[in-house]
Amino acid sequence: MTAPPASRVAVLGVGLIGGSVALAARLRAGAHVTGWDPDGAALAEALEARVVDAAAREPAEAVAGADLVVVAAPVAALPAMVATALAAAGPETAVTDVGSTKSAIVAASVDERFVGGHPLAGAEATGVRHARADLFEDATWYLTPTSATSGLLLERVHRFTAALGAVPTHVDPAEHDRLMAAVSHLPHVVANVLVAQVAEALGGERLPPTGPSFRDATRVAGANPALWAQIYAGNRDALVERLDDALGRLRDVRDQLAAGESLEAWQAAAGEHRRALLEVGLTGGPRTELRVAVPNRPGVVADLALTLARAGINISDMSLSPSPDGTSGVVALWVAQDAAARAHGLVADLGFAVT
């Protein structure tokens, strides 16, 4: 048993996500949590419900003395709030966020103490009263370190998210945004289009009973307009690219259908794609530890994590041991046993000694 990843945590923004981070940090990671929220009533409710141990009047007051700060603000408010947190935080404090898009906030927050984050968790309900300590259980939690990121603080954020029950997963910020555009933002846009065309085609005159495929395909239509408008805008370039791609594919199939061509092979190919996508993330299995000697400078651990991520190798656990003089250290990385040889080779190619 190692020490808890963070003993004092600040959470800025105690809605559904921030409140759940606070609860899980208290109940699962044994941390003391100070919360702050621009909405005084929400903050009072969080304190009353013991979602947080203490409530601060200002962000700087919450951040003072924290090992780790989690900024859980709407996407558009993140850059200013992360800057406030970094300004108030000490040199050894990690700052992370939970925003759904990452390129903009990472570009705006170049600091060795900052690690972008994005838990794939949420619910239809919003607000601190729906906060749950198990919201992140087995959820992917993307971390987007860069060449500026401190290895020690990256390790802390990684272990913190794992302590909340999540599966921390390293990814480049731009790749994260492209991925989210494809697997989340485009499906939300498409769901809106599907409900709009049905509603308008029926002219409000008669709304029919529908099968399950329509419910499934449109479950997220119209979700939280203020939040989603920010997410779309925050990932504009990647989402426009995905929309153009989808438009091209829909035009192709429309033309094939109109020309009387059979869509059977196209339908079968989609089935293959779906099976391939659904087989993902169901691996588990035994793990192997790689120990890597690294110099103690920002970006080194991030580089290791991202190199493995790009090769499809996830780091299920991470532990960093600095040398006594603080100039170097050893990073222990746990990866799937069947990926260990490949990981060993990739790390060695970066010029590091692996044991």
Strand partners, 280: none
Task: Tell me which of 77, 221, 332, 354 binds a second copy, using CB under 8 A.
Answer: 221
Task: Tell me which of 50, 57, 219, 291 binds a second copy, using CB under 8 A.
Answer: 219
285 near a second copy, rule: CB under 8 A: no
Window contacting a second copy (CB under 8 A); options: 13-21, 66-74, 267-275, 293-301: 267-275
CB of 135 to a second copy, least distance (A): 13
Sign of CA dihedral 269, 271, 277, 283: negative
Window contacting a second copy (CB under 8 A); options: 44-52, 59-67, 248-256, 339-347: 248-256
E strands in the chain: 8-12, 32-36, 54-55, 68-71, 94-97, 114-119, 140-144, 167-170, 287-295, 317-322, 328-336, 353-354
Q: In whole angstroms, give the CA distance from residue 108 to residue 328.
A: 29
293 near a second copy, rule: CB under 8 A: no
Binders of a second copy among residues 161 to 190 (CB under 8 A) are 167, 169, 171, 178-179, 182-184, 186-190
263 near a second copy, rule: CB under 8 A: yes
Q: In whole angstroms, give the CA distance from residue 293 to residue 321.
A: 10
345 near a second copy, rule: CB under 8 A: no
Q: In whole angstroms, give the CA distance from residue 260 to residue 244.
A: 25
CB of 241 to a second copy, least distance (A): 9
Task: Please tell me the number of Cα atoms within 13 Å of 240 on its side-chain side.
Answer: 4
195 near a second copy, rule: CB under 8 A: yes
Q: In whole angstroms, give the CA distance from residue 35 to residue 43.
A: 7
Task: Tell me which of 31, 46, 71, 191 binds a second copy, using CB under 8 A.
Answer: 191
Window contacting a second copy (CB under 8 A); options: 16-24, 39-47, 55-63, 218-226: 218-226
What is the DSSP code string of 304-351?
Answer: HHHHHHHTT---SEEEEEE-TTSSEEEEEEEEEGGGHHHHHHHHHHTT
Comparing C-alpha atoms, which of 114, 120, 165 is closest to residue 138? 165
Window contacting a second copy (CB under 8 A); options: 3-11, 21-29, 274-282, 323-331: 274-282
- Per-position x/- string for 93-132, each x denoting binding to a second copy as judged by CB under 8 A, each - no binding: ---------------------------x-x----------
254 near a second copy, rule: CB under 8 A: yes
- Per-position x/- string for 59-98, each x denoting binding to a second copy as judged by CB under 8 A, each - no binding: ----------------------------------------
250 near a second copy, rule: CB under 8 A: yes
Nearer to a second copy, 229 or 341 (CB): 229
- Region of 299 (left: φ > 0; alpha: ψ -120 to 50; beta: rest) is left
CB of 202 to a second copy, least distance (A): 8
214 near a second copy, rule: CB under 8 A: yes
148 near a second copy, rule: CB under 8 A: no
Binders of a second copy among residues 299 to 338 (CB under 8 A) are 309-312
For 197, list phi and psi in degrees, rounded to 5: -70, -35
Comparing C-alpha atoms, which of 227, 29, 2 is closest to residue 134? 29
Please give the C-alpha separations between residue 202 and each of 198, 212, 213, 220, 239, in angstroms, as whole numbers.
6, 19, 18, 21, 29
Please give the C-alpha separations between residue 196 and each of 167, 192, 244, 248, in angstroms, as whole numbers.
36, 6, 20, 21
CB of 335 to a second copy, least distance (A): 14
Nearer to a second copy, 204 or 351 (CB): 204
Window contacting a second copy (CB under 8 A); options: 24-32, 56-64, 86-94, 227-235: 227-235
Nearer to a second copy, 186 or 301 (CB): 186
Read off the amino acid at residue 64.
Answer: A
Report the alpha-carbon angle 148-149-152, nearest 5. 145
Q: How many residues bind a second copy (CB under 8 A)?
A: 93
* Pairing mode, strands 114-119 and 140-144: antiparallel
